[in-house]
Amino acid sequence: MALINLPDPEQLASRILRGVREAVASGLNLLDNRLADARSRSARLLASLSGERQMNEGHLVGVTGPPGAGKSSLVSAMIREWRFSGRTVGVLAVDPSSRPELGGGALLGDRIRIKNSSYDEGLFIRSLANRNQMGGVSSEVWPMSWLMLSCFDVVVVETVGVGQTEIDIAEIGDTVCYVAQPASGDTIQYLKSGIIQIPDIFAVNKCDLGAPARKTAAEISRSAPRQDRREDWDYPVCLVSATMNTGIKQLNDQIDRHRSFLVGAGSLGNLRTRHHSAWVMRLLKEEFGTFGLELAGGSATISQRLGEHRSCQFEEYERIRTQILSRFKSDNSSSSITKKEHPNEQAVV
């Protein structure tokens, strides 16, 4: 493959912070690039983007639910509402059914283009095929959402809710909204499984269908397991219709209310820090494996280091990476560990 000039991370970060669209696109491409040089530049980019803003500002909203529930349609309707109120919106659509080569549903971007005919500077959509780690959200999605949070008021991550995904999305969003399909057993089964953290907000879509939607909403209200509930939050169930544009403003209001709830409880920053640590750990594990984590003192030590660097975890991430890489190199030159044992170097070959 021909060599591609990779951007200077610090320069790129300053352009992203000014909301330059080309810079946002190029930053997302960098985060999506698995080669060694790109990975270290990604860490520098994220370190440059980290700051107070990402601890306290913006809103990361996870939208999940079964295929066909109307997530993309609903996100599209929600975007119109947000844009109407002057907020800028970034979207990451992680939806395998959106992959045109699979003949799946229309890309979210296409829906938006159909509905909002004029080009909109305040809206940025990136569709990602699900790179499918056992049904989970692939590891680059979180850094991508973090990048978008540095320059958009609202960042939406749309994922299909199957198995592992709900757990992953709960580790991305400040607020998680579950979109339910009326008259489908999926949601109730999902709630009764009890293994997953319940979403903050439920949206029963397709309320234009009438009774089945109302029945599903009532079932959800009854079934949400009470023991998992956080105090003081009421887990609203909203009846909406993406196609008829019904209840969208009310849903967005509930999403705002959840953010205010987190801010009021002083927990938005803590929540993001927790999510941050979980994903940095995941990125390290993915790049270096458990053996690599041991070279940096093991996961407990790493967690502690990340906890001590709350507002600049990416810089700490980069330091830990460098440390692991140099340990790999020194072990490599002095002992039996072969170069091939560093997964990243294999990737570069």
Point out which residues bind ligand GDP (CB under 6 A): 67-73, 97, 105, 205-206, 208-209, 241-243
- CB 205 → ligand GDP: shortest distance, Å? 5
* CB atoms closer than 10 angstroms to residue 260: 10
Residue closest to 16 by CA, chosen among 172, 171, 173, 155:
155
Tokens (6 digits) for 187:
């949601």
Nearer to ligand GDP, 140 or 158 (CB): 158
Q: Which of 95, 219, 316, 318 binds Mg ion (CB under 5 A)?
A: 95
- CB 247 → ligand GDP: shortest distance, Å? 10
Q: Is position 140 an interface residue for Mg ion (rule: CB under 5 A)? A: no
Stretch that binds Mg ion, among 9-17, 42-50, 89-97, 334-342 (CB under 5 A): 89-97
| Cβ contacts of 138 within 8 Å, gap of 6 or more | 94, 128, 130, 131, 132
Q: What is the rounded radius of gyration, in angstroms, for the C-alpha atoms of the chain?
A: 21
- CB 75 → ligand GDP: shortest distance, Å? 8
- CB 234 → Mg ion: shortest distance, Å? 27
- CB 107 → Mg ion: shortest distance, Å? 9
Q: Are 156 and 92 in contact (CB under 8 A)?
A: yes
Which residues within the stretch 260-299 sit at the binding site for Mg ion (CB under 5 A)?
A: none
- CB 97 → Mg ion: shortest distance, Å? 6
Query: What does 69 bind: ligand GDP, Mg ion, none (CB cut-off 5 to 8 Å by kind)?
Result: ligand GDP
Nearer to ligand GDP, 72 or 254 (CB): 72
Query: What does 67 bind: Mg ion, ligand GDP, none (CB cut-off 5 to 8 Å by kind)?
Result: ligand GDP
Long-range CB contacts (within 8 A, 24+) of 33-39:
33/6, 34/347, 35/347, 35/348, 36/344, 36/345, 36/347, 36/348, 37/6, 38/6, 39/287, 39/321, 39/344
Query: What does 9 bind: Mg ion, ligand GDP, none (CB cut-off 5 to 8 Å by kind)?
Result: none
| Cβ contacts of 243 within 8 Å, gap of 6 or more | 70, 73, 206, 208
Residue facing ligand GDP at closest CB distance? 70
Q: 59-64 and 175-180 as β-strands: parallel, antiparallel, unpaired?
A: parallel
Q: Is position 168 an interface residue for Mg ion (rule: CB under 5 A)? A: no
- Collapsed DSSP state (helix, strand, coil) of residue 257: helix
Nearer to Mg ion, 160 or 198 (CB): 160
- Collapsed DSSP state (helix, strand, coil) of residue 147: helix
**Contact positions toward Mg ion, by CB under 5 A?**
71-72, 95
